[in-house]
Amino acid sequence: MIIKNINHDCSYHTEKIAVMFFPLEKLKKDGDDNVVITTEKDGDILRVSVRAYSKYHEKTHTLKADEDVAHSLSVLLYDTLSELTSYTLPWGILYGVRPARLMHSTAEKLGIDGAVNKFLSDKVEKKRIELALSVMESENKIIALSKPESFSLYVSIPFCPSRCSYCSFVSHSIANAGNLISSYVQLLCRELKKIGEIAASLSLRLESIYFGGGTPTTLSPSQLDLLLRTLEENFDLSTLREYTVEAGRPDTVTKEKLDTLFSHNVSRISINPQTFNDEVLKNIGRHHTVQQVYDAFDLARSAGFNNINMDLIAGLNSDTVDSFKNSLDSAVMLSPESITVHNLALKSGAYLCTENEFFDLTKRNATRTMIDYSFDKMRVSGYNPYYMYRQSKSLGNLENVGYAKPGFECLYNVFMMDETHTVLAAGAGAVTKLKNYETSHISRIYNYKYPYEYINDFDEILLRKKGITDFYNS
C-alpha cells in the first residue's frame, strides 16, 4: 500500500486510518502497488482518491473556517475507504488502543454529552460509545484505589505445552525449550529477590501481582511453590489487593498445582478455553479437549477458588458465528466470575493477496457479529464490561473486552492498561513501566525477550534494575 500525502502534515493520521482498513498491507514509500491512496490539501479543498485493484473512488471536502484540517481529512479518508470497501469501522477514525481512557480525558474537557458528540463526530458507533462510557466508569473506580507509592508486580513464565497458531506472545513450547525451565525458575527467583529489595528501599506499596506468559501452570508444583515462597519472603504482601496466576491451558491444570496456588493465597486464576469446539481447538494447535476445560474448572472450584476468569477468542480459524455463540453460552453456564472476549489479532503476512480476498467481508462481518453478541449476552447475564483495549492488527478493527460480575474486576488489567501506576516486571520478555505520579511520565526498562538470552546474560538483567532506583530518586 502506498499513501501519498500532498500539501499537509497529517500523514500520521492518514496512515493510521488506512492501516485500520487494510491491516496487513505493508506501507511503501514509492513505486506502484495494488493499493494507492492520495490525500491532498489545495487551499480550502481537501481531496482523497483511492485505487485498490480494479476499484477507484474519490471524494472532496471544502473546509469551513472553524474546521480542523487533520480531523476533516481523517473523516474524508474514512468515508472514502468505507464507501470503497463497503465496510464501516466500529471505532470510526479512532486508532488508539485505549478508547475508554480517551473517553475519560475527553469527558473531563467537554463533559459527558460533549464527549459523546465528539465520538459521534469521529464516526464511532453508538454501541461502542456506550461500551466506552461503561468501561470508563468501572475503570475510574479501580484507578481511584491507587496511591502515589503504589505498584504492581508482573511475573513472566514464557512456556506453554504447545504454541497456539494465533499466538503473538513471547512463549515457547516445552518440546523446544523445556530444558531451560529449571535454570529459568532459579534465576527468576533471584530477580524477584532483587526487585523486592528495591521496592522495600523505596517504600513502595504492592497492590496486585500477576503471573502471565505463556502458561505459568506449565511449571511443576514444586517450581510454583518455590516462586510463590520467594515472593512471600521478599515482598510485603500486607497491602496486596489481588493475586492472579494464569492457569490458561486446561491441560496443565492438576489438583496438586491448584492446591499449591491456593495454599499461597493466590486469589484469582484464569482457565482459558478460547473455544468450546474441539475441532477449532485442534485447528489452532491447542492440545486439549473441551472436556478438559470442564474438568479443570471443576478442579479449581473444588480447590476453593471463587474468582476464576475464562478467555474466549472471536474470529478463530474455522470457527463460525453459531459455534462462537455456543462457546460463550457454555462459558456463561459455568458462571466464572469474569470472562474476557478477545478479537483475533492478525499475524503479518499475505492476508489480502487477491482482489476477491481484499474486498471479501465475510470473516470481518462474522467476527463483528461474534463480538456484538458477546456484548449483549454478557450484559443480560450479569457481567459488566470493566476493561478494554484494541490492537492495530485485528480482524475488523474490533475490541478486546473484559467482563466481570460486580466486585470481581481484575485490578491488574486496569492498572496496566490505564498505566495507573508503576509495574515492576520480572522474567523473559517482561517490561518494567515506571510512572511519575505528578507528571504521568512513563519510563521503561526492558528485560531480554527470550529465555535463553535471559539465562545467558542474567547479570545484565540485575544491572538494569538500578534504573528503578534512579527513576524514583531523580
Q: What CATH topology corresponds to 2-85?
A: Double Stranded RNA Binding Domain (3.30.160)
Contact 170, 226 (CB under 8 A): no
Bridge partner residues of 341 (DSSP): 312, 401
- pLDDT tens-digit map of 13-30: 999 999 999 887 888 877
Q: For residue 27, what pLDDT is reported?
A: 87
Task: Name the packing angle between helices 11-21 and 69-85 (round to 10°).
Answer: 20
For residue 93 the three cell numbers come to: 477514525
Contact 135, 387 (CB under 8 A): yes
Q: For residue 350, what pLDDT is reported?
A: 42
- pLDDT tens-digit map of 37-80: 999 999 999 999 999 999 999 999 999 999 999 999 999 999 99
Share of the chain above pLDDT 90, in %: 85
Q: What is the 3-state secondary structure (H, E, C) of the chain?
A: CEEEEECCCCHHHHHHHHHHHCCCCCCECCCCCCEEEEEEEECCEEEEEEEECCEEEEEEEECCCCCCHHHHHHHHHHHHHHHHHCCCCCCCCCCCCCHHHHHHHHHHHHHHHHHHHHHHHCCCCHHHHHHHHHHHHHHHHHHCCCCCCEEEEEEEECEECCCCCCCCCCCEEHHHHHHHHHHHHHHHHHHHHHHHHHHHHCCCEEEEEEEEECCHHHCCHHHHHHHHHHHHHHCCCCCCCEEEEECCCHHHCCHHHHHHHHHCCCCEEECCCECCCHHHHHHCCCCCCHHHHHHHHHHHHHHCCCCEEEEEEECCCCCCHHHHHHHHHHHHHHCCCEEEEEECECCCCCCCCCHHHHHCCHHHHHHHHHHHHHHHHHHHCCCEEEEEEECCCEHHHCEEEEEECCCCCCHHHHHHHHCCCEEEEECCCCEEEEECCCCCCEEEEECCCCHHHHHHCHHHHHHHCHHHHHHHHC
Mean pLDDT, residues 171-176? 58
Q: For residue 462, what pLDDT is reported?
A: 97
- pLDDT tens-digit map of 357-408: 778 889 999 999 999 999 999 999 999 999 999 987 787 889 999 999 999 9
pTM to 2 decimal places = 0.93
Q: How sure is the predictor about 149, in pLDDT bands with cuts at 50, 70 and 90?
A: very high
Q: How sure is the predictor about 352, in pLDDT bands with cuts at 50, 70 and 90?
A: very low
Q: For residue 348, what pLDDT is reported?
A: 56
Domains 2-85 and 142-464 share a fold: no
- pLDDT tens-digit map of 254-277: 999 999 999 999 999 999 999 999
Q: For residue 391, what pLDDT is reported?
A: 87
Contact 145, 207 (CB under 8 A): yes
Domain boundaries along the sequence of the chain: 2-85, 99-141, 142-464
- pLDDT tens-digit map of 187-228: 999 999 999 999 999 999 999 999 998 899 999 999 999 999
Q: For residue 165, what pLDDT is reported?
A: 54
Mean pLDDT, residues 97-107? 95
Pick the CATH number of 142-464 from 3.90.1150.10, 3.40.50.2300, 3.80.30.20, 3.30.1380.10: 3.80.30.20
